[in-house]
Every structure is written in C-alpha cells, then in structure tokens.
C-alpha cells in the first residue's frame, strides 16, 4: 500500500541561520474510480487527487454522495487492480451511471464539484428528509475538535492534511479519516458507513477540520447526517443549503466558542 506521508529534504531557516533538514509531507496521488456492471462493462468516472489509504471507502463514498449509488445493496464488491485504480462492481439491478455523469478531467484535492457538466448537476438528491437527530450539550460540541485532532495521526506528522470525524451525541468518536482533500475525507467517512451497512447516519455529528463548503453540506445530507460542525468558516451557499434542509451547521468550532448558522434547535442549553 502506498504511504500516507513522504519524506522531503529541506533547508530549515531559523532567524538568520540555515541548516539541512527533513520534513514529512502528506502524500498526494491520483486515484481513478471506475464502475463495472454485469462483470464486463466497465466505465471510468473520475480521477481524483487523494492521500492513499481507505481507497475503497473513498470510491463508494464518492459514488454515494454523487447520487450514483442508492445504498449498500447496489455494491457487489470493490477491487483494486492497481494502486491507482479502484473498481466498484455494481450489484444486479443497480442503476448504471449515464455517460454524462462521468467527469472528463482530473479532480484536484481542493475541488469537490469540479467537472460538473451543468448547474443542475451541482445538486444530488438526498434519500429523504433529515431526522430530528441528536440533542447536543454545548460542552460536548466544544470538545469535538480536540477529539478529532487526537485521531489525526497524519496531521500530527505533516500538519498538511484534512480530517473528518463522525461522532455520536455523547461526543464519542465513531470513526475518523484523513485526506489532502476535504471532500475526500468526508467521502471516506461516508463510504466506511455505507460498506458497514450503517447509513443513514441520522444520530451522528460530522466534524471537519477546515471550512464548511457547499459540497460538504451536500455530502452530509446524502448520508442524512443532521449536524455538521466545522473548525473553520462556512460559505454562503453552505449556510443556505443547510438551512433549507433543516441541518444544524456550526462554524468556528474552536477555542471554546462557535457560531450557529442553522438548526440551533438541536443544541441543549
């Protein structure tokens, strides 16, 4: 398996002094995601830049949050014929992606919606409305970023990678994933839950280490996660989408403070 970190020779500058040194970088490599139906028809959907690891979760999470999979029953299996390729085998009866749903160029680690062919294609249709979800104590919300950071081993080594964690209402970390792309980290979390047959995730909280963008809110909605908490700021479209869907969206969750942008009724106290 490819390494998640890569050593790099550097020159360290400290004040007026220079010295040779070494730094650990977060690995960034391409991954091609393909789907296969009936054991023979194979279609390449996208090439994304990601941090290696949890590639099967990334692939099925991406397909699910894009609306190309309806659930665990649509997945017959996942294989990796090469380190840079993942093939998702569709179960009999699963819908095949249409040619227009394939992205014609590489998606960078900074891009969650690059390559969409139309404005209408920006939105995927969630499986259903959000459930009421958990009631969250303020003290538990304040503790979430540190709990996610403690699970980010690659961030500790590199300082250059995003994290996404899924928590229960008591603030217990259920799973965490890292990637150079914010959207990839979330897709890995959603994909892990899908493969475990644990979607929808209606009683959970999704915590992300960076900002809350439109695509992250949409991915949470596809997994029917009712609460999204971000260490950074939300975008205007993220706030609009969260409010429209009845999602609780929290921003700047750090240093014992946060802003509530929508869904404040899920907060206790």
Task: Name the residues annotated as catalytic.
Answer: 111
Strand partners, 90: 75
Strand order in 29-37's β-sheet? 75-82, 85-90, 29-37, 41-50, 106-107
CA angle 73, 75, 81 (to 5 degrees): 165
Residue 175 has what DSSP assignment?
E
The pair of three-digit structure tokens given for residue 116, joined into one six-digit string:
């969409």
Q: List Cα–Cα distances, 8 to 24, 25, 134, in angstroms.
A: 6, 7, 44
CB 190 within 8 A of CB 222: yes
């Amino acid at each position: 398996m490819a390494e998640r970190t890569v050593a790099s020779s550097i020159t360290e500058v400290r004040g007026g002094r220079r010295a040779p040194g070494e730094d650990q970088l977060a690995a960034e490599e391409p991954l091609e995601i393909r789907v296969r139906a009936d054991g023979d028809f194979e279609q390449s959907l996208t090439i994304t830049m990601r941090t290696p690891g949890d590639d099967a979760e990334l692939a099925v999470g991406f397909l699910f949050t894009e609306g190309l999979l309806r659930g665990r029953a649509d997945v017959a299996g996942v294989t990796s014929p090469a380190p840079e390729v993942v093939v998702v085998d569709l179960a009999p009866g699963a819908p095949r992606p249409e040619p227009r749903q394939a992205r014609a160029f590489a998606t960078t680690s900074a891009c969650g919606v690059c390559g969409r062919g139309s404005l209408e294609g920006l939105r995927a249709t969630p499986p259903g409305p959000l459930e009421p979800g958990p009631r969250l104590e303020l003290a538990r919300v304040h503790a979430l970023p540190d709990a996610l950071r403690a699970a980010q081993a690659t961030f500790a080594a590199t300082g250059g990678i995003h994290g996404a964690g899924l928590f229960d209402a008591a603030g217990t970390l259920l799973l965490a994933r890292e990637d150079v792309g914010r959207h990839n980290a979330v897709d890995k979390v959603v994909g892990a839950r899908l493969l475990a047959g644990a979607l929808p995730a209606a009683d959970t909280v999704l915590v992300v280490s960076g900002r809350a963008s439109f695509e992250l809110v949409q991915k949470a909605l596809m997994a029917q996660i009712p609460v999204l908490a971000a260490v950074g700021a939300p975008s205007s479209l993220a706030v609009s989408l969260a409010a429209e869907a009845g999602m609780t969206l929290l921003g700047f969750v750090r240093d014992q403070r946060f802003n509530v942008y929508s869904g404040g009724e899920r907060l206790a106290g």
